[in-house]
Amino acid sequence: MQHKDELRIFSATSFMGHGVDEDSLKQAITYDLDFVIAQGTTTDAGPYYLGAGKPVMAEEALRRDIELIITIAKGNNVPFIVSAGGSGTDSTTELVLTLIEDICREHDLQLNLGVVWSEIDPSYLLSGLTEGKKAKRIVPHPALEEHLSAENVRQNTRIVAQVGPEVVMDLWQNNPGLDGIVCGRSLDVGLYAAMPLLYGFDKGLAMHFGKIMEDGALAATPGSGNDGLLGIIRSDHFDVRPTNPKRRCTPESVTGHAFYERSDPSKEANPGGDLDVSMATYTQLDENTVRVQGAKWIEAPAYTVKLEGVTQIGYRSICIAGMRDPEVIRNVDLILAEGKQITFDYFAHVPEEDFTLNFKVYGKDAILGPFEPTPYVEGHEICVLMDVVAKTQKLANSVCSFVSSTVSHHGFPGRLSTAGNIAIPFSPGRAVPVGEVYEFTIWHAWPLEDPHEPFRTTIQQVNGKGGEVS
């Protein structure tokens, strides 16, 4: 691909479905953009969405953001790159394509799309393990084996891999005439770094550009998850600025985002190497614009991609209850401990491994648990979340209903009222079925000789007149 001296890219939002600011996007178009990009896959929302194969954000919100990006970008002959749907499963990617089909039908648009599919066939991993590949867990966690095993692969409901920039680069380069690219589970930084890398920009600079751009206006002040950021990358630096006049970029806001979501503020692990920002500089050019330069790329001995997989462990029911009586609040630990014991005694006929029961006391230590430095109640009211995970939904409902009733009526020294210890805000409320429960059991780095290896790509034409996808 021919080298370019400059690329102009607009990051449309922090996450597809969080909101695209229409005015900001239209203003960005006036800067003679090369690409509009937005990321929309994550594990932030937990394992449920991967296990269920459902989108993280509401379908209506997802459609609105896609519609704004496609109609404005296509109307101005600017190509777009998006990852969308949340978990990155084939089902959520298919949903996004269905939404695009509907949008094209409504606006009478025709699109030529490249699609990257990120869901991984377990047989591919099993074959790799047989050949001696070793995937090492990325973070210590009691639910994760140190190395990926065949048994672990087989028990997982769904598995995705995080596509790096190389697949996006090749899809664009090898298919002239694409209007856009839609990706499943993707490395956020990689979506924004792909085109700078393709057009010959330094890898450290391109990956740092991707890091700052990945969440749109979160790198500005006041930060926003539903607004965009303009980035202009050149040979030895890049400039970032919001197109919304209500926001500005400062060295503090941009540096703050450079350190976002990492344990080491100077380095971030990526497929094939580390982004080192220890020598990066952030300079205020004007009231709204910051210039960034100086990041380095440290090549890794091997190229690896992150695998994410989940296993269904049961079904959940919850009860949300408030406590206002000072004596109840004072005795909350006793009430919950004895209520839990009574519940386990009552369900002694059920195998111990068939259900778990936990409480979260908001207003005391629900967020940090044993690490809370002030584990006592200071306010006049608290909230108790009763959480039951069981082998079946019926059992989860039964246990949750019983424990909420037990806690409500449990006696304790100094009790003044027998009417109830808790206030349940709605009906039904004693046992609200939440559904399937999943946990991450694959969170491993998988070695690749070829960055394209586990991913599938397709070219699809969307005909707005008939709404057909081919």
Instruction: Please report, for the chain, the start and end positions of each structural domain, with discontinuous segments joined by +.
Output: 7-120+161-303+450-469, 325-422
In contact, 83 and 165? CB cutoff 8 Å: no
Backbone angles phi, psi at 220, to 5 degrees: -110, 180
C-alpha of 300 from chain center: 25
> Smallest Cα–Cα separation from 35: which of 191, 201, 234, 215?
191
Is residue 52's pLDDT more than 70? yes
Per-residue model confidence as pLDDT tens digits over 310-329 = 999 999 999 999 999 999 99
**Beta-strand pair 468-469/456-463:** antiparallel
Per-residue model confidence as pLDDT tens digits over 20-50 = 999 999 999 999 999 999 999 999 999 999 9
Measured from the Cβ of residue 1, the count of other Cβ atoms closer than 10 Å reads 11
What is the pLDDT at residue 468? 52
What is the pLDDT at residue 463? 87
Per-residue model confidence as pLDDT tens digits over 387-434 = 999 999 999 999 999 999 999 999 999 888 777 899 999 999 999 999
What is the pLDDT at residue 2? 72
Q: How confident is the model at residue 362 (pLDDT cuts 50, 70, 90)?
A: very high
- Average pLDDT estimate for 339-351: 97
| % residues pLDDT > 70 (the chain) | 99
Is residue 467's pLDDT more than 60? no
- Burial class (CB within 10 angstroms; exposed 0-12, middle 13-18, buried 19+) of 449: exposed
- The DSSP code sequence of 97-125 is HHHHHHHHHHHT-EEEEEEEE-B--HHHH
Is residue 223's pLDDT more than 80? yes
